[in-house]
Amino acid sequence: ATISVLERVSHDGNKTMTVLGPLSNLVPPRGGGRGNDVDVDACASYRSGEHYDETPEGAAVRRCLNLGSYNYLGFADDWDVTCKRDVLGSLAALPSSVGSSRLEYGTTVLHREVERIVASFVGKEDAMALNMGFNTNATVIPALASTGDLIVSDELNHTSIVNGARASGAAIRTFRHNDAADLEMILREAIVYGQPRTRRSWNRILVVVEGVYSMEGEYCNLRDVVSVCKRYGAYVYLDEAHSIGAMGPTGRGCCEYTGVDPADVDVLMGTFTKSFGGMGGYVAADKSVIDELRRDCAGSAYHNSLSPVVCQQIISSFQVIMGKDGTDIGRRKLNALRDNSNYFRMRLTDMGLHVLGNYDSPIMPVMLYNPTKIAAFSRECLKRGLAVVVVGFPAVPILMSRARFCISAGHTRVDLDRALRELDEVADLLKLRYARSTFG
């Protein structure tokens, strides 16, 4: 049976979210809930692709500390920052939608400005912005690879990458998560044996990895991945959804964090939904590749392009991160994100919880293991005013159920300490401690 765990949220103010419903039906009936007359978004279990209507009975509104969204630098709701003034100004001056794809009339000066900033920020010749991060992977990968090509994908890559790879028509192999030795074995085999049946060599081999893995909180072993790919002549595609604007001293992502030259990564992909408080995704590469993508990628030809107002949000966030707003707010936000993340991770570990991932990563999965604890954990957290994402099968293996915390620069120490106090109680209640720390 599928265990689907729900987050029903509408964002509401700084660091908090309003959670609707008592979360009493954490194992909802297949094929929909019991009603749809509540004016909230349908909710979805993370990565499972199943959608359920909100249940109308007993829906209650509760304000919670948001420990579940990817608002890494707090740009989604940080009204103090100067960039919000620009965004509010753009609301008055610009259309809310261009009503056109990029290939038609959906390109404004703001779209080009987003692309110019992204390319210079990540260290590539050019970039293309699309209206969704999901669509960026799902439509760019098929434009880069097709029949006769091989895509070698980390086994824990995001669904959007899986969708893109499947739609491409290329052959697909997966390698063990973050394991460069396994990747090397697959590449060696691919070079030696070539394509099945014909034994012709592969036209192109594209290796796809993520900067920070969203269910593991781990950053990519990028140095080894890049060096293996160089040895075997494979192209590297890096999804920086969770690392751009979040990792590295200046927020330039996994390349900066791991000391890899961006020139050694052929395609850098990222999203504006996490660190930039916007919408959409980008792909950055050599100009010739981006020119080709503008022509061939379905996301460029068939999707309405980003709203100009969202473009302004993205531009302004980048300017703050780069210190171009004349303040050091960006640097302080990056430092706060790292300090908050490391503090929270250290304290959770100290409680004897099993926390996955690496220091400096803002994503912190806490292992529940037993799937029967998923609903209880979510309910106990909500009772205590904490909104946390919980994850079960099929998003993760059934006995690897977990809760996932996402830390933001917008959290204060008071917020985090309150959450930790509550979680200490929940850990006792659900017997989550697997070890007593030697610290503290």
Angle between helices 308-321 and 83-93 in degrees, nearest 10? 160
Task: Answer yes or no whether residue 273 interacts with ligand PMP by CB under 6 A.
Answer: yes
SS (H, E, C) 112-162: HHHHHHHHHHHCCCEEEEECCHHHHHHHHHHHHCCCCCEEEEECCCCHHHH
Stretches 168-176, 219-227, 238-246, 370-378: which one binds ligand PMP (CB under 6 A)?
238-246
Site string for ligand PMP, 57-96 (x = CB under 6 A): ----------------------------------------
Task: Answer yes or no whether residue 334 interacts with ligand PMP by CB under 6 A.
Answer: no
Which of 97, 370 has the CB closer to ligand PMP? 97
Which of 118, 426 has the CB closer to ligand PMP? 118
Pairing verdict, β 363-369 and 281-285: unpaired
Task: Answer yes or no whether residue 316 interacts with ligand PMP by CB under 6 A.
Answer: no
Q: Is there a contact between 168 and 142 (Cβ–Cβ < 8 Å)?
A: yes
Q: Residue 13 corresponds to which amino acid? A: G
Task: Answer yes or no whether residue 239 interacts with ligand PMP by CB under 6 A.
Answer: yes
Site string for ligand PMP, 120-159 (x = CB under 6 A): ------------xxx--x--------------------x-
Task: Answer yes or no whether residue 307 interacts with ligand PMP by CB under 6 A.
Answer: no
Which of 202, 272 has the CB closer to ligand PMP? 272
Task: Answer yes or no whether residue 313 interacts with ligand PMP by CB under 6 A.
Answer: no
- List 262, 281, 330, 365, residue binding ligand PMP (CB under 6 A): 281
Which of 149, 210 has the CB closer to ligand PMP? 210
Task: Quote the CA–CA distance of 405 and 409 in Å, as a whole number.
Answer: 13
Q: Closest residue (Cβ) to ligand PMP? A: 133
- List 214, 243, 313, 341, residue binding ligand PMP (CB under 6 A): 214
- For binding to ligand PMP (CB under 6 A), which residues are involved? 132-134, 137, 158, 160, 210, 214, 239, 241-242, 271, 273, 281
